[in-house]
Amino acid sequence: MARRAIRLFAIFVLLGLVAGGGAFAWGYAQFTRPGPGTFDHAVVLAEGSSLKDIATRLENAGVIEQPLIFRIGVRLGGWSRGLRAGEFRFPSATSMHAAVAILRHGETVVRRVTIPEGLSSGQIATLLQQTQGLNGEITTTPPEGTLLPETYHFSYGDGRAELLSRMSQSMEKVLAKLWSERVKDLPLTSPMEALILASIVEKETALRAERPRVAGVFINRLRRGMRLQSDPTVVYGITNGANALGRRLKRKDLDQTTPYNTYRIPGLPPGPIANPGRAALHAVLHPTISKDLYFVADGTGGHAFAATFAQHKRNVRHWRRIQAKGSK
């Protein structure tokens, strides 16, 4: 009887091992076979997510279809502590095994936000507040003109304040480099003065090719001690860069005394009126050499330039005729 009992126990152990081996083989096959996804999936995994949370998130996104197998596979592999938070892209048919590798070693999805040239710092802060994927609130708006407009890349969960700091550092580096490469004999005594004038040029024209010529007009006026008489500075004095004026300037606006009204004050205003881009900064530090002292819109999106006031008056009359036709 004892021998028979031993044989039966041995048989049961052998059957258990076979069954266990079969279950393991089946589970491994499920873990490594192509997943159900038929297209790429971007999945965001929050900081502090549990393994169960991750499995459920991947299942809901269509990356995996057996979350229990996924969890068992992760635990057996000893990878539970190596799964990272962030936004990850999973190609179509990603296996559970490949999904684990992406969560452990893959690059997070790179997002980007483009800051247009000529926005105020307040407008940039608002744009970042509305940008999905960034984290945190902006409690302090950076000083006007200190943020470099360009395209910035970020990962899901990056801080808004951190991105603003990157923009500020970029402006500092670009301004310092361009200032060191400036042409000689400019009537500008510091990088800040260059930044202020560049912000005016930025708001005066959207045409990249025209910026050096517009800058040249202002440089000529500064050399002669003439007032800049820039409409955008008047607008900034009224709105403080919070928003667009929403109407044409009136004579009473030009006569209004503000620190930024260059029809009333000599020289440059006390600070930038926007955040200028590289092209405007370069234009101010490498202006077109000419005798131009005036410019006015020409009706084509650009400007008509003039070296004399008589010529300028003719250009203004032409522009007003275009405006009159457009208002009919």
Higher pLDDT, 14 or 68: 68
Are 118 and 150 contacting, i.e. CB atoms less than 8 angstroms apart?
A: no
Q: What is the mean pLDDT of residues 77-91?
A: 90
Residue given tokens 């003719």 in the structure block: 314
Residue given tokens 């899901």 in the structure block: 156
| CATH class of the structural domain 34-108 | alpha beta
Are 40 and 92 contacting, i.e. CB atoms less than 8 angstroms apart?
A: yes
Q: What is the mean pLDDT of residues 210-236?
A: 97
Q: What is the mean pLDDT of residues 297-317?
A: 92
Amino acid (1-letter code) at residue 268? L
Q: What is the mean pLDDT of residues 223-243?
A: 93
Residue 228's pLDDT band (boundaries 50, 70, 90)? very high
Q: Is the predicted pLDDT of residue 301 greater than 70, yes or no?
A: yes
Question: pLDDT tens, 126-135?
Answer: 999 999 999 9
Would you state the pLDDT for residue 242?
A: 83
Q: What is the mean pLDDT of residues 317-324?
A: 86
Residue given tokens 């910026």 in the structure block: 211
d(CA 50, CA 54): 6
Would you state the pLDDT for residue 241?
A: 86
Would you state the pLDDT for residue 5?
A: 43
Residue 212's pLDDT band (boundaries 50, 70, 90)? very high
Would you state the pLDDT for residue 327?
A: 65
Would you state the pLDDT for residue 203?
A: 96
d(CA 70, CA 59): 10
This model's pTM is above 0.95? no
The encoded tokens of residue 6 equal 């031993």
Residue 328's pLDDT band (boundaries 50, 70, 90)? low
What proportion of the chain, given as a percentage, has pLDDT over 90? 71
Question: pLDDT tens, 256-276?
Answer: 999 999 999 999 999 999 999
Q: Is the predicted pLDDT of residue 21 greater than 80, yes or no?
A: no
Question: pLDDT tens, 146-191?
Answer: 999 999 999 999 999 999 999 999 999 999 999 999 999 999 999 9
Q: Which of 44-48, 55-59, 220-224 has the highest mean pLDDT?
A: 220-224
Domain with CATH 3.30.1490.480 in the chain: 34-108
Q: Is the predicted pLDDT of residue 25 greater than 90, yes or no?
A: no
Residue 98's pLDDT band (boundaries 50, 70, 90)? very high
Residue 26's pLDDT band (boundaries 50, 70, 90)? confident
Question: pLDDT tens, 47-56?
Answer: 889 999 999 9
Please report, in angstroms and rounded to a whole number, the separation of the first and last CA atoms in the chain.
114
Helices (H), the chain: 2-32, 51-60, 67-77, 96-105, 121-129, 160-180, 191-204, 211-224, 231-239, 251-255, 278-285, 309-327
Higher pLDDT, 28 or 59: 59
